[in-house]
Structure 1
Amino acid sequence: MRAPRTLVVGAVAASMLAGTLATASAAPTTSSAPSAAAVSTATKPSENAKLNKTPTPKLKWFRCYATSECATVDLPLDYDDPKGPKTKVAVLRTKATGKRVGTLFVNPGGPGGSSTDLAQAASRWASPTIRKSFDVVGVDPRGIGASDNVRCLQPWQQQSTFAPLEDVFPVGWTKQQRYMGSMKKIARACSTNKLATAMSTAEVARDMEMVRRALGQGKLSYMGFSYGTQLGATYANMFPSNFRSIVIDGTINPRSWSGTPWNKSRPLDFRLGSGKGAWKAMKQVLAECQKAGDPRCEFAAVGDTRKRFDALVAQVQRTPLVLRDPDSGQKFTVDYPTMIGALLSVMYGSDAPTQVDAILTELDYAATEAQGGRAKTPKPTRASRQVLLAAVDDAVGAPARAMYDNSYDAFLSVTCTDSQETTRLADYPRYDTQAQTTAPHFGKAWLWSSSGCAGDAFTGQDEDAYVGPYDRYTPKGVLIVGNYWDPATAYTGAVETRKILGRSRLVSSDSWGHTAYGVSSCVTKAVDTYLVSGSSPARDRTCAAETPAFPTREERARKTAPEIAEMTELPKGAGEQTFPEPVVVD
């Protein structure tokens, strides 16, 4: 996998992936009545008391990026030392277009995604109901985006360090050793960076709470996607009486993400199960392709789609394919890790089956020709080749480039501080073998992406990281959204989180890609109603598929909010101010 995308590992409990989809989708019967222990824990004002020692900041807004307002605020690097070193955090607000209900904080995931980008792009992903009712506010997590930037390596070190990570995952002893060496180097560097070791999700929750106080506009409303669901669950348990409504879409099981005594001896993806979720989605695409048939799904022309997929993977494992870019004429190679990375990349989209079909059809044609046979699939077109090229670029786009890219620095700083692994990096080749058994192909990609979190690689920890409990009594309920075919945050994460957050409700979506808001109109309506009213639904609900797996052009699904956030670049209007260049913290 490339430098981890919006989640983002975004994530999902492997140890609890029990049962079929049918049993998993049943609404859990969790009582909303809190236990005495939960009530006692919830009433302790420890987090609020800690933040009360820090003066509420004043936000000095300025107009920015043509349609928004921006501000920066200096917050304590360590809230136990409110007068000590500070870190600058960026805030962006787009004002409500109608009668305002309140302020909606947003986070796109990652870890490493920019919340200010997501807030600025609100008109492209948020429904008219949300845009009318809420100021949409993004607070870039510390170390990320327009906030002070974490930098674990010096610029001259990055290219050589990241070169082995250009493989989506390493195959063979030599590449595995090189991969582990690079991961250890950057993880060790982040472990001694003063900002990196203060970037746990708990610190981001505290920063968000300080901005909420600075706004002075009532209790928090929040919508988080992918890794942003961990932020939402963490805030709900750290500040259980401070929120009005929290939506988490593409949900991570918080106990699986955070290190606990019973799970931190396991690699992160074995706890989260993202690889299993991706393999489940891939198998479903192949089954739907078989059902739809050619020409709706061109890969169906091969006959048994699952058998041909297995044979195609085996062929590419033996002999990588050499293809040509129709525009530049340059040749490029698709080996086994690149093939899996490209497929995983397109499965993030709401049109995942169509994109997977395009890639498999391309590769089948090339592989059959390479063996001197006659392909049953159609001859590649310029459009289908561009789909493959874009997916390959997305999969292998490691940050070894002219300008310093801190995406891995940010990803590891948050993920490893939270997950608290006690694993050994030298054991990852053995975990690789296990992953291939439990989550063929995709388990490898997810496993290696967070291998820098091994206990003997990342050694810096935040003593103020939050690791639970996650079942505190909350006066208001959290709305959980889970998508059946999510390749990053598997649906089981939403089901498990529903059981943990006792006053929560679960909206299950039979849709493709990573997250469901904005793609499923049923999900969108349920989320909008909850956010505007501030009241949880009476019961869990399931949203049926609204488009076929292989739709016509007119039936195509819309893009998800994380997709839009990834494509967003903050515009620069004439005469408009922008965020100042972030301070880099080595």
Structure 2
Amino acid sequence: MSFSWTALASSPTLSTVPCYNDLQCARLTVPLQYSDPSAGEAQIALLIAPSTLSADDPEYRGPLLLNPGGPASSGVEYLLELGTYFREVIGPQYDLVGFDPRGVGATTPLSAFLDSPVEALDLLATYPLSLNESASSFGRAYALGRIMSDLAEQRNKLALESVSTPAVAMDMLAISRAFGFEKLNYWGVSYGSVLGATFAAMFPDRVGRVIIDGIVNSHEWYAGIYDSWLGHTEDALTSYYDACVAAGPDLCALYANSSSAIRSRVTSLLDTLHTAPVPASHNASNLGVVDAGLVLNRLFQTLFEPFSLGQSFAAALVALEAGNPLPVYEGTIASVIGGLDTCDAIKTDYFTAGFIDTFAPIACGDSVGRARQTLEDARAEYDRLVGTTGFWSVLYGLFRAPCSTWNVTAKDTFNGTFTTNTSEPILVISNTLDPSTPIDSGRNMSAGFTGSVLLEQNSTGHTSLSGFSTCTALAIRAYFASGTLPAPHTVCQPDTRIFESQGNSSAAGGVTFPAGSVLNRRETAGLERPAAFEAAVRAVRDSRFLSRHAFMGRVPRGAGWRA
């Protein structure tokens, strides 16, 4: 079922219309710049899955806002794809609200500064996937960053000055108030942890039930520092290889008798591809090249969601070794673009609401110029970081390089600290081996919020959504239901291991539900429909939302709650 957001009138009060079958849609009018009300207005797109409880039911708790991170990911799309999962985990007492942050999706004005999909394609096609592809790759990324910055300043400066994280935090308060509530209930993952922490620091007396999950160090975010992002990436990679050894040859195509042997095999393949990339073609109109940068990009995506992607990626690498590059090539942005028959087939919002137009304005704008660098300083920083993990050769150009030259800074800013006493304690969740938001950041942020508790999920992957844990799900449900926090130092185990149940149609998010499991014991889990819950968790696995929306490797939208 489609829905026209542009035809929906915006209002300063909450005015909803039916949409997407049994959901509600609205556009909320807010100031474009809270620091300057005369600057104009913005219209925030809201998708609402109403609570099944009546407003006068004592168990009804109002809106619970969801943010998928990015920055640049759509909360509307997030709820459409994963709404059944959130409803089953959280329970019936909240109106679940997916909202498109400023500059993203159906929220206006957009942060677009590229005039056409073709222009976006042009920039994507010339942007190096890895900065060690050639001697000029780093300089090319820096120069393209300057082009992006100049275009942004010339074409859409006012809108881009208005998409900061503090502005979105103020929007979240406005959304809660539009529902008639003065406190924020919230679950934000990845960059959404920055948004949640920013709200808590700006409005500590407006904090209701707030979960931040997959923690970015917000101190570093606003300083334009990215050093800690990949603190456990190599450990996560080792964990993936260890899981392959433990799974055995029947489940892991890369199997060897030791993790180091698998690492050597993959490293050898990357070394070969660095000097001898492999042509890939679906057909005469969809041609591409599989090189070391593309494979490293896919490997990093796999570490985001190893329970969902680990088995298929291992098989794809073995196929690549044997001369078949298509399994690795499929699903990359290169193959998606190559598969378009005509320019008319290019969806404008796919590009303009994505990485290019939105990540830099938010991330670089938040640092208000502190991340700017000369080419020489940027190269020195890159050399230092890539010495800690080769994954920086992929990520530095995508995440850090654009901020080195970014000129447009935010109008609504935050210059406070992340040390405060919130009106209700925050639940902080970190995976033991998160490849891009290490648990050290979770400890750092939790220490600043009085009374907060850090829940550790002992799994590899990005955020708790990457691998299902009954223990984590029950902790989340208890917190949102009653405010009950897990005991300090709680460690939750995942319900399965990487490779254990992938490819099994009964698996859900990397987990099967055996007879007698806690999710099948209604009185313990508090879940009314364990079969529905299993289906909901399976939808998380099949959606692969995190890896698709992590960075430029994203692919177009999949199916979800919209059906």
Which bracket does the TM-score occupy, shorter chain normalised?
A: 0.7 to 0.9
1:415/1:453 contact within 8 Å kept: no
Once the two structures are TM-superposed, the CA of residue 466 in structure 1 deviates from its matched residue by 1.4
Alignment of 1:14-29 (within 5 A): none
Equivalent residue, structure 2, for 1:345: 301
Trace 1:93-492 onto structure 2 (pairs within 5 A): 93-98=48-53, 100-148=60-108, 149-155=110-116, 157-165=119-127, 167-169=129-131, 171-191=133-153, 193-259=157-223, 264=224, 268-270=225-227, 272-274=228-230, 276-301=231-256, 304-323=261-280, 325=282, 332-349=288-305, 350-366=307-323, 387-393=327-333, 402-404=346-348, 405-406=351-352, 407=354, 408-419=356-367, 420-440=370-390, 442-455=391-404, 457-492=405-440
- Identify the residue that residue 24 of structure 1 maps to in structure 2: none
Name the TM-score, length of structure 2 as normaliser.
Answer: 0.79
Please tell me whether residue 508 in structure 1 is matched to residue 456 in structure 2.
Answer: yes
1:583 — aligned with what? none
Amino acid at match of 2:381: Y
Cα drift, residue 414 of structure 1? 0.4
Query: Hey, what does 1:496 align to over in structure 2?
Result: 444
Contact conserved, 1:347 with 1:356, CA < 8 A, in 2? no
Q: Is the 8 A contact 1:96 1:132 kept in 2?
A: yes
Cα separation, 2, equivalents of 1:386 and 1:532: 47
Match of 2:474 among 517, 525, 531: 525
Rounded to whole Å, the distance in 2 between the matches of 1:389 and 1:205 is 38
8 A Cα contact 2:29 2:43, kept in partner: yes
Q: Deviations over 1:155-195 (max 9, x none)?
A: 26434333211634452233333322222111232245111
Q: Distance in 1 between matches of 2:77 and 2:249?
A: 40
Unaligned runs of 5+ in 1: 1-55, 367-379, 574-586
**1:537 aligns with one of 473, 479, 486:** 486
Aligned 8 A contact 2:173 2:182 in 1? no
What number of residue pairs does the alignment pair up?
Answer: 489
**Equivalent residues of 1:519, 1:560 under 8 A apart:** no
The Cα shift of 1:69 comes to 1.1
What amino acid does structure 2 have at the position aligned with 1:76? P
Whole-Å Cα distance in 1 between the matches of residues 164 and 17 of structure 2?
29
Structure 2 Cα separation of the partners of residues 544 and 436 of structure 1? 32
- Counterparts of 1:516 and 1:571, CA distance in 2: 21
Q: Which residue identity does 1:563 align to in structure 2? A: R
Provide Cα deviations, 1:339-389, integer angstroms capped at 9, x if missing partner: 1011112222233432342233223333xxxxxxxxxxxxx7xxxx76423
Per-residue CA deviations over 1:113-140 (Å, capped at 9, x if unaligned) read: 1112223345332142524121101221
Deviation sequence 1:224-267 (CA, Å, 0-9, x none): 011111110000111101121100111111111111xxxx4xxx
Aligned to 1:16: none
Q: Deviation per CA, 1:260-285, whole angstroms, max 9, x where unpaired?
A: xxxx4xxx432x323x4333211221
* SS of 2:497 mapped into structure 1: coil
Structure having greater relative contact order (Cα 8 Å, sep ≥ 6)? 1
Give 1:394 shift.
7.3
CA apart distance, 1:569: 6.0
Q: CA deviation at 1:301?
A: 4.4
**Mapped contact 1:341–1:392 kept (Cα < 8 A):** no
CA contact (8 A) 2:129 2:297 kept: no
Contact 1:237/1:472 (CA < 8 Å) preserved in 2? yes
1:195 and 1:398, CA in 2 relative to 1: closer, same or farther beyond 3 A? farther
**Shift of residue 416 of structure 1?**
0.3
Q: Cα distance 1:331–1:165, how it changes in 2: closer, same or farther (>3 A)?
A: closer
Quote the Cα distance in structure 1 between the aligned partners of 2:138 and 2:406: 18
**2:388 is aligned with what amino acid?**
T
Which amino acid in structure 2 is aligned with residue 346 of structure 1? T
Name the Cα RMSD after superposition.
3.0
Alignment of 1:22-61 (within 5 A): 57-61=12-16
- Cα distance change, pair 564–143 in 1 and its aligned pair in 2 (3 A): same
Task: Specify the alignment match of 1:76 in structure 2.
Answer: 31
TM-score by length of 1: 0.76
Alpha-carbon distance in structure 2 between the residues aligned to 1:281 and 1:67: 40
**In 1, distance between residues paired with 2:413 and 2:127?**
28
Cα 1:127–1:78 change in 2 (3 A) is closer
The unaligned stretches of length 5 or more in structure 2 are 1-10, 54-58, 512-537, 549-556
What is the identity, as a one-letter code, of the residue corresponding to 1:217?
A: F
Q: Return the alpha-carbon distance in structure 1 between the equivalents of residues 339 and 115 of structure 2.
A: 13
Q: Which amino acid aligns with 2:142?
A: M
Check conservation: 1:424, 1:454, Cα contact below 8 A: no
SS in 1 for 2:158: coil
The residue number in structure 1 matching 2:523 is: none
> Aligned partner of 2:17: which letter?
F
Share of identical aligned residues, percent? Answer: 24
What amino acid maps onto 2:471 in structure 1?
Answer: C
* Kept after mapping to 2: 8 A contact 1:152/1:189: yes
| Aligned partner of residue 258 in structure 1, secondary structure | helix
Q: Deviation at 1:488?
A: 2.6
Instruction: Give the residue type in structure 2 aligned to 1:190.
Output: A
- Paired with 2:457 and 2:487, the residues of 1 have a C-alpha distance of 18
Residues 66-110 of structure 1: per-residue CA shift (max 9 Å, x gap): 221111122111112224411221112111134633321111111
Deviation at 1:391, TM superposition (A): 4.4
Report the Cα offset of residue 429 of structure 1.
3.5
- What is the CA deviation profile of residues 524-567 of structure 1, one whole-angstrom value per residue up to 9, with x for unaligned ones? 11111101112433423101232122213356334649834854
Classify 1:225/1:59 alpha carbon distance in 2 versus 1 (closer, same or farther; 3 Å).
same
Q: Secondary structure at the match of 1:223?
A: strand
State the AA in 2 paired with 1:179: A
CA distance, structure 2, for counterparts of residue 510 and residue 413 of structure 1: 34
CA distance in 1, matches of 2:85, 2:327: 23
